[in-house]
Structure 1
Amino acid sequence: MESTDEHAMESDTDLISVLPGEVLQHILSFSRIRAIVRMRRLSRRWMRVIECLQFICLDYRDFKHWKVEKFARFVDNLLLIRSKVDLHTFQLYWFHYLPLNCNDLRKWILYAVKHNVKVLDVELDMYDKTALPSRIFTCRSVEELSLQMGEAPDEDLEHVGLVLPDIIQLPSLKKLTLSDVEVDQLSLNQFIGRSPNLEDLHLINSATYLDLIASKVLKRLTLDGFMHGPKRFTISAPHLVHFECQGCALQDVSWGEKPSLESAHIDTWGKKYDGESEFIGVLLSAKTLALFGSDVKVMLEKELPACPVFERLTTLEIGNWCLTEDFYAVLRFLQLSPRLGELTLMQEELPHAARKGAETDAMPIDGMTFQCPFLETVIIQCSKGDDGINKLVNVLAANGINPKKIQVNFYEDIEEMERAENRRIIEEREKELCNFEKMAKKNPEWVDESRYADSNPETDSDEYDDDYDDF
C-alpha cells in the first residue's frame, strides 16, 4: 500500500499551497523576507498570501551588501504591495555602520501602527534619539513592544537615551522591553498604570532615578543596568515570579509587597549589604536561583543562619567571589536545599576577589555538613592555574558527593567555545545567504526583489506618504 507522501509525490500535489492561509503565514514568519518577496511569482494564490503578509521581519544581515538607500526603497515597496490588512509582527534589526534615515524609520513604524500591529520590535545601532513617532506609545493594538536603541550618534549631545513622549497609553500591552531609553518615574507609572495587562517588564540600561516599581499584575521583571543612578528603590509586585537584577548594589533594592519568586538571577556589584528588608524571604519558594557578587555573599551570610528551608529549590548557580577562601554561604545554602539537583559554583581568583573586597571576613566552616541526596550535577567554573579548586572538590566529596559527578570547566575554555559557536553561526548564515544569492541568479523566472528597490515610492503613490504623518 502506497504511503500518503509517495502518492503526493507521484501526483505532483503541492501540499504547501493547499494549507490554510493562517498556517502559511505562520510558516512564512520563519523565512527570509527576500525569499518571501520572490514567492509572489509562484501562483496567484501565493501572490495573495504575500500581499497579506502578517509577519515582516527585516534583518540587516540579509541585506549586508546593499546600500542604505536601496534597502529603504525595498521596504517602501514591500509595504506598498501589501493589501490593507492588519499586521501581526513588524521587526527591524539594523546594525549597519551607516544609520537609517529617520524619516524612513518613522514612516515604516507608523505604517505598522496604522495597521494594528501586535508585536513591534525595533533594534537599532545608531539613530536620532528624538526620531521615533509618539504614536507608538498610544497604539491600542500592540501587545509586545521592544525598543532597543543602542548609542546615539556623536553629534547627539542632548540625549543619552530615547526620549519618551508625555503621553503613554498602551491598553493591550503585555510585554515591554526597553534598552537605552530614558525611563523616569512618571513614564514608568504611565506604562504600568495604563497597561492593565502588562506582565513582562524589561529595562536594560534605561532606568532613571526610579523610586518605586509597583504593579499588581507584573510577573517578570528585569533591571539590567541604569542610565542614571541608581538610588534606592522599592519593588512592590506581589505576583512577580521571575526577577533579574544587574548593574546596581543589592542594598539599593528593597521590597514592598513581597512576591514568592519561582526564579531569580541577581548579579550585583556592591561591596556591602545593609538592606533594611530581608531579601532572602522573596527567594524561599524559588526553583531556580543564580546569585553572584560580593554583596550577595554578604547578604547570604547575614540572612542564611536563621533562614527556613528552600523546599522547592532544584537548580542553584552561585559565586563570583573567592569560594576557596569563603565557602560558608555555599555550604549553608546546601544545608537548606534538600531537593537540589544541579549546582554550579563560579570561582573568582583571589587577587580579583580582593580588589572587589567584601566587607566581611571569611566565616568558619569547621564542622559544617550537608545532605543533598538528589544532587546529580556539580559544575565548578574557574580560571586555569587556580590551585584552590581541589579544596572545593574535597569539601563536596567529604559530604557524599561522588567526584565523578563534579565537572571543572575553565573560563578560558568556555570563552573559546563561545567564540567558536559565534563563528559557526556567522559562517552558517553567510553560507545560507550565499546559496540564496546563487539560486536567485540561476532562477531568472523568480521575481527579483531588487526591482522593488529600484522604484521611487514618492512617485508611486501620494497616499503612501499622507498615511504616515505623525500627529
Structure 2
Amino acid sequence: MPHTSKAKKVSYSSKEDRISALPDDVLHHVLGFLQAAEAVHTSVLARRWRYLWKSMRCLRINSIGRWEEGNDASLSNFINCLLLLRDPGSTLDEVEIEYDNLEDETKWISIWICHALSCQAQVLTVKPDSHMYICLDGPPLVSRQLRRLEFSNVNLKHNFLDFSSCTALEDLKIKGSALETSRILSPSLKHMSIKQCAFRHDGRIRISVPNLVSLQLISFVGRTPLLESMLSLETAVVSPRNYCDDVCHEGVAGECCGTCADCCGNNDHNGGCVLLGGLSCATNLELIAYLGMLIFRRDLRWCPTFSKLKTLLLNEWCVQINLHALVCMLEHSPVLENLILELRKQEETALALEVEGNNSLMHKPAAISGCLKIIKVKFDEIDDRVCKDQVSRGKGELWGADGCTIRRALSIKSWRGTCAVDEFTNP
C-alpha cells in the first residue's frame, strides 16, 4: 500500500467543501440570517450555491449597502427580480422589507406583499422610512399561512385591515401608522399591538377580534376605537396620548361636563361603552389617561362587570376631582386582588376647588372585592392626596379632592405599610 504523508492528507481535507455538502434545508436556514443582497452574492462561491437564493425561505430586504446613497431604481429592480425569479413552487417562511430611501415604492409595495403571500409566507414585516408614509388601500389580504404581520410607517385605508381571509393570522403589530379604515376584523387574531398610531378623526374604527388574548393600544391619537366583545381577553393596556380627540370642550379644565354630546354618547355606537365593554373579560388591565381625556369616565356611565379581573392599574384620571371613578371600577370588579395607582404631582384645577368638601358620592360604603389583597400607590413626590404626617410613619393615605381617603372609600378598617409608603396590604 502506498504511503501517504500527513501533509498530503491535510492538503486533501482542506480541499473538501463540507459546507456545500450540507442539505438544502440547512443551507437555506443559513442564508436566512443574511440580508437579501448578501445571500444573492453567495451564488459566486461555487456551483452548488449558484441558484440557492432562488429558493431560500427567509428574505430580509433593506437598503443597507450599495443602495445607501439612494439608488432607488436599482433597489426596486433588485426586489422585483428577487421575488419574481424565485423557483416556481418554492415557499417562504418570512419576508422582511425595511428601507430608508426608496422614493417610488408605492406602486410596488402592494405587488411585493401579494407575491410574498402567494409564496405562502408565514411572517411578513413592512417597515419603510419613518418620513415616507406609503398608502396601502388595496383589497383585503388573503392567506391561509400568514401567522404574523407587522407594519410601521404606513397609511392603511379602506378594507386593508379586514383579515377575515387570513385564517391563520394570530399576531398583528402596527406602529407609527395612520389607520383610516372603518374596521379591524379578524376571527383568528390572538395578539394585537397598536402603538403611536393615528386613528381616523371622522368616526370610530370598530375593532372586531373576538378571540383576542392580549391587546395593546398605546399612545394613539384621533377618535378612540370602539372595542367589540373579546371573551378570551387576558391582558390589555390602553393608554391614549394627551391630544386624543375624545375630550370635553364644555367642562372646566377639560373635565367631563356630563351633559354635552361627547360626554353622553355619540350616534356611531348608540351611546354605549367605547372601551370598557370590550375589556370586561380581561384578567389584567391597565387604563392610563391624561386628565383631560374623558373616554374612561364617560364609559363608567355604562360600566360593565369585570368578572375575571385580578390586577388593575390606574393613574390620575380615576382620582381627579373625587374618587367616584375609582370606586365605580372597584364596585364592578368582584374578584380583584391587586390594585395599583400611579400618581404624579398635579396642580389643583378650578373644578376641583368647586367640589372640595362635597362627599355625597361616599355616603354609601362601596362594595369592594373581598379578594383584594394589595393596594400599591406609586407617586413621584408627596402631594395633597397623600397625607404627609402618615407618610412619615409608613401609613400613607390617598386623598380625593372631596376629602375622602382611599381607606374610607374601600371600607378597609386597618392598614399595614409593607414597602415604605407606596405599598399597603389588606390583612
Aligned partner of 1:238 in structure 2 is 210
Question: Structure 1 residue aligned with 2:272, among 258, 264, 277?
Answer: 277
Higher helix share: 1
Aligned partner of 1:383 in structure 2 is 380
Is 1:90–1:112's contact at 8 Å kept on the other side of the alignment?
Answer: no
Aligned partner of 1:52 in structure 2 is 28
Distance 1:262 1:402, change over 3 A: same
Is 1:41–1:47's contact at 8 Å kept on the other side of the alignment?
Answer: no
Aligned partner of 1:11 in structure 2 is none
Is 1:138–1:167's contact at 8 Å kept on the other side of the alignment?
Answer: no
Residue type matched to 1:402 in 2? R
Give secondary structure in 2 for the equivalent of 1:329: helix
Describe how 1:220-299 pairs up with structure 2 within 5 A: 220-227=191-198, 229-232=200-203, 233-248=205-220, 252-255=224-227, 258-260=229-231, 261-268=233-240, 269=244, 270-272=246-248, 273=263, 274-275=265-266, 276-279=271-274, 280-293=276-289, 294-299=293-298
- Of structures 1 and 2, the one scoring higher in RCO (CA 8 A, sep 6+) is 1
Describe how 1:14-413 pairs up with structure 2 within 5 A: 44-45=18-19, 48=22, 51-53=27-29, 56-57=32-33, 74=38, 76-78=40-42, 83=52, 86-91=55-60, 101-102=71-72, 103-104=74-75, 107=78, 111=82, 114=86, 116-124=91-99, 127-128=102-103, 130=105, 133=109, 134-139=111-116, 140=118, 141-152=120-131, 160-164=132-136, 166=138, 169-171=141-143, 172-189=145-162, 192-227=163-198, 229-232=200-203, 233-248=205-220, 252-255=224-227, 258-260=229-231, 261-268=233-240, 269=244, 270-272=246-248, 273=263, 274-275=265-266, 276-279=271-274, 280-293=276-289, 294-304=293-303, 307-308=304-305, 310-321=306-317, 323=319, 325-351=321-347, 364-369=361-366, 371-390=368-387, 391-392=397-398, 395-396=406-407, 399=412, 400=414, 402-404=416-418, 408=422
What is the root-mean-square deviation of aligned Cα atoms in Å?
4.3
Residue type matched to 1:48 in 2? L
Is 2:190–2:212's contact at 8 Å kept on the other side of the alignment?
Answer: yes
Q: Measure, in 2, the Cα distance between the counterparts of 1:107 and 1:182.
A: 24
- What percentage of residue pairs aligned between the two structures are identical? 16
Q: Measure, in 2, the Cα distance between the counterparts of 1:175 and 1:194.
A: 14
Q: Measure, in 1, the Cα distance between the counterparts of 2:385 and 2:221.
A: 28
Aligned residues: 342
Is 2:319–2:325's contact at 8 Å kept on the other side of the alignment?
Answer: no
How far off is 1:336 after superposition? 2.9
For normalisation by structure 2, the TM-score amounts to 0.64
Q: Measure, in 2, the Cα distance between the counterparts of 1:369 and 1:168.
A: 48
Aligned partner of 2:255 in structure 1 is none
Is 1:239–1:259's contact at 8 Å kept on the other side of the alignment?
Answer: yes
Q: Measure, in 1, the Cα distance between the counterparts of 2:113 and 2:96.
A: 11
Residue type matched to 2:112 in 1? R
Q: Measure, in 2, the Cα distance between the counterparts of 1:408 and 1:259.
A: 33
> 4+ residue stretches of structure 1 with deviation over 6 A?
40-43, 93-97, 360-363
Distance 1:56 1:405, change over 3 A: same
Distance 1:229 1:80, change over 3 A: farther
Q: Measure, in 1, the Cα distance between the counterparts of 2:198 and 2:115.
A: 24
Structure 1 window deviating more from structure 2 (394-403 vs 89-98): it is 89-98
Residue type matched to 2:288 in 1? F
Greater Cα radius of gyration, structure 1 or 2:
2
Is 2:83–2:112's contact at 8 Å kept on the other side of the alignment?
Answer: no
Q: Deviations over 1:113-146 (max 9, x none)?
A: 8353222234445543616552332322111212
Q: Measure, in 2, the Cα distance between the counterparts of 1:236 and 1:387.
A: 42
Q: Deviations over 1:194-248 (max 9, x none)?
A: 4233333333233342222333333333443445733322233333343333455
For normalisation by structure 1, the TM-score amounts to 0.59
Which structure 1 residue ranges, 5 or more long, are not aligned? 1-39, 60-71, 153-159, 410-471
Q: Measure, in 2, the Cα distance between the counterparts of 1:215 and 1:240.
A: 9
Which structure 2 residue ranges, 5 or more long, are not aligned? 1-13, 249-262, 388-396, 400-404
